[in-house]
Amino acid sequence: MDPAKKNVKQLFVWAAAFLLLLVLFQNLKVANEENELPYSAFKSRLKEGQLSNVVVRPDLIRGESKDKDGHTQRFRTYPLNDANLVADLEKAGVKDFKGEPDKTWVTAALVNVGWVVLFFLLWWVFVVRQVQLGGKQALSFGRSRAKLASGDKKKKTTFADVAGCDEAKEELSEIVEFLKEPEKFRKLGGKIPKGVLLYGAPGTGKTLLARAVAGEAGVPFFSASGSEFVEMFVGVGASRVRDLFDQAKKTAPAVVFIDELDAVGRHRFAGIGGGHDEREQTLNQILIELDGFEGKEGVILIAATNRPDVLDPALLRPGRFDRHINIPAPDKRGREAILKVHAKPVKMDPAVDFAVLAKRTPGFVGSDIANLINEAALLAARRGLAQVGLPELEEAIDRVLAGPQRKSRVISDKEKRIVAYHESGHTLIAKLLPGTDPVHKVSIVPRGPALGYTLQLPEDDRYLTSRTEILNRLCVLLGGRCTEELVFSEITTGASDDLSKATAYAQKMVMEFGMSERVGPIAYRKDAEVFLGRDIARGPGYSESTAEIIDEEIKRILGECKEKVCALLVKNRRSLDALAEKLIEKEVLDRDEVDAILQAAAA
Ligand code: ADP
Ligand code: ZN
């Protein structure tokens, strides 16, 4: 709806409310001025000839009564079943009397509905207005509640305020350039993404980064949250989105930031029970806006989510959110940098070593660190200290660790050790066996549900994989679990993902690739989509005795791999220890570092 139309509508609503009140008031006033007479008094006054202008209704008689001093007063009375009324009126010489249809229902309806309407009106004005904190108009439903934070009011957020995600900053700096001088950028033929998706765990600084992009470019920053769009009234989400973009376009170049994109952007057919209309409309509106601006408006949409996996594919298509930037949890160096950023405005004991603190805080994300410094400052203030010292920081770490939002992500030193060995196991096996993809990076910084990961990247695209290669991959997968057994004589749940992947490989070898001699070159299962019920209806397609053989073969393959891996680990225990210790210390190792460690250990 365009603003003019909206204003007219608002005026209309107010006028209607005013009229309604007026009518109600008049009704009450008339009723109050009328003097209520008993029917008997009415009859006697009638006989005495004091009445005039009588109006007769089935349920009510009203008129004017003149008393002895000549005063006229309005009266009303409730009629009895009086057959002689008209005759009496005539006899009394009432000049003017007339009938009137029964109007009670009109008044009744007006009075009753009036209250309902009045109630809604009050609710509308108060509740909606409350909700629309920030929006100035009381009756503007569809207005976006986007908060505009221009640089001039508060201190500008810049990239210097965001630490530990240099890669993301690098990628975003191109967008800053564009926002600074859209014209120049276009002349040079630069292609600008319309939508940028930042994804990563909560508290890693996605909002902060988006804000910094606006700050660096010196353009307005409009922010809204996906959950705001769907929480309230039906049909409001879409118009809020429209409004948000309209506002941004007016002040372009500008940054529009939508937090929690997954709240509106979930896959449209996900979940039983079909779509959520409100959400879908909002999502569609976002897509329309994205498709609508051609970059010439100079509006950049940045969205954040910690669940990129549930997003509707339509959002991720080229020309929409086509730039995805991962905001990882910070590693040790990153944490040190973030600590420094947040410690800057605080008076710190110069003896505090941020590197040590960073080491003490595995698994902390940016918001945890901000929290940590804040807690420490509060503690120091409570203790009347002039500066924040190590004891306060240590205590603050414990507090943050015990804090409600952290509980699930706490990593103890023991866990860290186990994860380090587990990942070292994967890495070592991958280095020892030929035909495995080179290890690119190994990390024990938690990412999503995984506590650590070993990243292997293929050298080049491969289309054929030999049996030995698959077996070696399987060994790499088992490397983590075997290491845990070997080093800690204990196994954890951390390897369940590895195990299911390894099992899937073994299954495919036996059932699809014909790589088991006992089962033979038969493909039992095509990796087609499994529709609900279809598998059950069709059956597995092999006999029970074959099923047994398949099971045995899968077990045999996995068992043999495990033997091999364990032997390798025992033989290379020194390398394993060296890798794990270094990983505990540095948290992330790249390819060259891994090579160097292994060479040193082998020497
Ligand atoms: P997200 O949007 O990813 O959930 P926020 O951007 O809201 O996280 O981060 C919350 C707060 O945590 C920020 O206001 C900031 O104080 C702090 N913070 C998070 N990440 C960083 C970082 N990389 N550098 C500095 N401070 C950070
Ligand atoms: Zn693993």
Q: CATH number for the domain including 548?
A: 1.20.58.760
Of the residues 423, 484, 553, 587, only one is catalytic, namely 423
CA dist., res. 483 & res. 487, Å (int)? 6
User: Would you say residue 421 has pLDDT above 90?
Assistant: yes
Question: What is the number of residues in the chain?
Answer: 603
Question: Measured from the CB, is residue 258 less than 6 Å from ligand 1?
Answer: no
User: Would you say residue 535 has pLDDT above 50?
Assistant: no
CA dist., res. 102 & res. 142, Å (int)? 43
pLDDT at 343: 93
Does 493 or 142 have the greater pLDDT score?
A: 493
Q: What is the mean pLDDT of residues 11-18?
A: 82
For the CA of 162, the closest atom of ligand 1 is: 24
Q: Is residue 114 part of a domain?
A: no
Task: Point out which residues pair with 52 in neighbouring strands.
Answer: 64
pLDDT at 319: 79
CA dist., res. 481 & res. 577, Å (int)? 15
> Cis peptide leading into 253, omega within 30 of 0?
yes
- How confident is the prediction for the chain on average, in pLDDT? 80
CA dist., res. 474 & res. 497, Å (int)? 13
Same domain assignment for residues 12 and 59: yes
% of the chain beyond a pLDDT of 90: 26
Render pLDDT for 509-524 as a digit per residue (tens, 0 to 9): 888 888 888 877 777 7
CA of 413 to the centre of ligand 2 (A): 18
Mutate to test the pocket of ligand 1, among 208, 333, 405 (most ligand atoms within 8 A of CB): 208
Q: Is residue 138 part of a domain?
A: no
Question: Measured from the CB, is residue 261 less than 6 Å from ligand 1?
Answer: no
Render pLDDT for 163-182 as a digit per residue (tens, 0 to 9): 988 889 998 988 898 888 87
Helices (H), 126-232: 129-131, 166-180, 182-187, 206-217, 226-231
Same domain assignment for residues 342 and 320: no
Render pLDDT for 34-82 as a digit per residue (tens, 0 to 9): 778 888 888 888 888 788 788 887 778 888 887 777 777 888 888 887 7
Using alpha carbons, list the distances in angstroms from residue 542 to 168, 441, 508, 523, 538.
Answer: 51, 42, 15, 11, 11
Helices (H), 344-412: 354-360, 366-382, 390-402
Using alpha carbons, list the distances in angstroms from residue 580 to 480, 573, 583, 587, 600.
Answer: 12, 10, 5, 9, 14
Tell me what percent of the chain is helix, strand and coil, each rounded to the nearest 5. Answer: 55, 10, 35
pLDDT band of residue 140 (cuts 50, 70, 90) is very low
Same domain assignment for residues 228 and 310: yes
The bound ligand whose nearest atom lies closest to the alpha carbon of 374 is: 1
Task: Provide the 3-class DSSP secondary structure of residue 157.
Answer: coil
Q: Which of 14, 361, 329 is nearest to 164 (CA)?
A: 329
The bound ligand whose nearest atom lies closest to the alpha carbon of 476 is: 2
Contact 59, 99 (CB under 8 A): no
- Show the beta-strand stretches assigned E in 207-265: 221-225, 254-259
Q: Which of 294, 296, 291, 215 is nearest to 257 (CA)?
A: 215
Same domain assignment for residues 179 and 196: yes
Question: Measured from the CB, is residue 372 less than 6 Å from ligand 1?
Answer: no
Q: Is residue 18 part of a domain?
A: yes
User: Would you say residue 302 has pLDDT above 90?
Assistant: yes
Which pTM was predicted?
0.56
Burial class (CB in 10 A: 0-12, 13-18, 19+), 198: buried
For the CA of 259, the closest atom of ligand 1 is: 2
Question: Measured from the CB, is residue 207 less than 6 Å from ligand 1?
Answer: yes
Burial class (CB in 10 A: 0-12, 13-18, 19+), 338: buried
- DSSP per residue, 519-534: T-S----------TTH
CA dist., res. 218 & res. 157, Å (int)? 10
Q: Which of 412, 363, 557, 400 is nearest to 477 (CA)?
A: 557
Catalytic residue flag (residue 395): no
For the CA of 327, the closest atom of ligand 1 is: 3
User: Would you say residue 397 has pLDDT above 60?
Assistant: yes
Of 349, 376, 401, the one marking the end of a domain is 401
pLDDT at 270: 44
User: Would you say residue 135 has pLDDT above 60?
Assistant: no
Q: Is residue 113 part of a domain?
A: no
**How many C-beta atoms lie closer than 10 Å to residue 325's C-beta?**
20
Q: Which long-range contacts (CB under 8 A, 24 or more apart) does 105-112 make?
A: 107/27, 110/23, 110/24, 110/27, 111/24, 111/27
Of 351, 378, 401, the one marking the end of a domain is 401
Same domain assignment for residues 249 and 155: yes
pLDDT at 188: 75
CA dist., res. 457 & res. 70, Å (int)? 109
**How many C-beta atoms lie closer than 10 Å to residue 195's C-beta?**
24
CA dist., res. 499 & res. 504, Å (int)? 8
Same domain assignment for residues 180 and 77: no
pLDDT at 536: 43
CA of 209 to the centre of ligand 1 (A): 8
Question: Measured from the CB, is residue 208 less than 6 Å from ligand 1?
Answer: yes
Question: Measured from the CB, is residue 205 less than 6 Å from ligand 1?
Answer: yes
Same domain assignment for residues 467 and 531: yes
Q: Is residue 445 part of a domain?
A: yes
What CATH number does residue 346 fall under? 1.10.8.60
Task: Point out which residues pair with 147 in neighbouring strands.
Answer: 223
What CATH number does residue 26 fall under? 3.30.720.210
Q: Which residues contact 457 (CB under 8 A, 6 or more apart)?
A: 437, 438, 440
CA of 365 to the centre of ligand 1 (A): 8
CA of 153 to the centre of ligand 1 (A): 20
The bound ligand whose nearest atom lies closest to the alpha carbon of 367 is: 1
Question: Measured from the CB, is residue 203 less than 6 Å from ligand 1?
Answer: yes
Same domain assignment for residues 51 and 68: yes
Which residue puts its alpha carbon closest to atom 1 of ligand 1? Answer: 203
Q: Which long-range contacts (CB under 8 A, 24 or more apart) does 592-601 make?
A: 594/427, 594/431, 594/439, 594/442, 598/428, 598/431, 601/574, 601/575, 601/577
pLDDT at 1: 45
Question: Measured from the CB, is residue 366 less than 6 Å from ligand 1?
Answer: yes
Which residue puts its alpha carbon closest to atom 25 of ligand 1? Answer: 162
The bound ligand whose nearest atom lies closest to the alpha carbon of 365 is: 1
Question: Measured from the CB, is residue 50 less than 6 Å from ligand 1?
Answer: no
Mutate to test the pocket of ligand 1, among 167, 354, 367 (most ligand atoms within 8 A of CB): 367
User: Would you say residue 475 has pLDDT above 90?
Assistant: yes
pLDDT at 571: 94
What CATH number does residue 152 fall under? 3.40.50.300
Q: Is residue 122 part of a domain?
A: no
Of 370, 401, 432, the one marking the end of a domain is 401
Render pLDDT for 351-392 as a digit per residue (tens, 0 to 9): 999 998 888 888 889 999 999 999 999 999 999 999 999 989
User: What domain range includes position 597?
Assistant: 413-602
Phi first, then psi: give them for residue 449, nearest 5 degrees: -75, -15
Which residue puts its alpha carbon closest to atom 27 of ligand 1? Answer: 366
Task: Please tell me the number of Cα atoms within 13 Å of 439 on its side-chain side.
Answer: 31
Amino acid at residue number 63: G
Task: Please tell me the number of Cα atoms within 13 Å of 186 on its side-chain side.
Answer: 9
CA of 449 to the centre of ligand 2 (A): 12
Question: Measured from the CB, is residue 515 less than 6 Å from ligand 1?
Answer: no
Provide the edge-to-edge strand list for the sheet that holds 221-225.
147-148, 221-225, 254-259, 299-305, 195-199, 323-326
pLDDT at 593: 93
pLDDT at 17: 83
Contact 195, 322 (CB under 8 A): yes
CA dist., res. 535 & res. 530, Å (int)? 7
Render pLDDT for 261-293 as a digit per residue (tens, 0 to 9): 888 877 665 444 445 567 777 888 888 888 876
Same domain assignment for residues 322 and 361: no
pLDDT band of residue 103 (cuts 50, 70, 90) is low
Which residue puts its alpha carbon closest to atom 5 of ligand 1? Answer: 205
- DSSP per residue, 60-123: -EEEEEE-TTS-EEEEEE-----TTHHHHHHHTT-S-EEE----HHHHHHHHHHHHHHHHHHHH
For the CA of 200, the closest atom of ligand 1 is: 3
Question: Measured from the CB, is residue 418 less than 6 Å from ligand 1?
Answer: no
CA of 357 to the centre of ligand 1 (A): 18
The bound ligand whose nearest atom lies closest to the alpha carbon of 345 is: 1
**Number of domains making up the chain:** 4
CA dist., res. 565 & res. 476, Å (int)? 8
CA of 208 to the centre of ligand 1 (A): 5
User: Would you say residue 24 has pLDDT above 60?
Assistant: yes
CA of 465 to the centre of ligand 2 (A): 22
CA of 497 to the centre of ligand 2 (A): 7
Question: Measured from the CB, is residue 204 less than 6 Å from ligand 1?
Answer: yes
Q: Is residue 142 part of a domain?
A: no
User: Would you say residue 237 has pLDDT above 90?
Assistant: no
Q: Is residue 345 part of a domain?
A: yes
Same domain assignment for residues 97 and 151: no
Burial class (CB in 10 A: 0-12, 13-18, 19+), 167: exposed
User: Would you say residue 137 has pLDDT above 50?
Assistant: no
Question: Measured from the CB, is residue 223 less than 6 Å from ligand 1?
Answer: no
pLDDT at 434: 82
Same domain assignment for residues 519 and 580: yes
Q: What is the DSSP letter of 309?
A: G
Same domain assignment for residues 270 and 162: yes
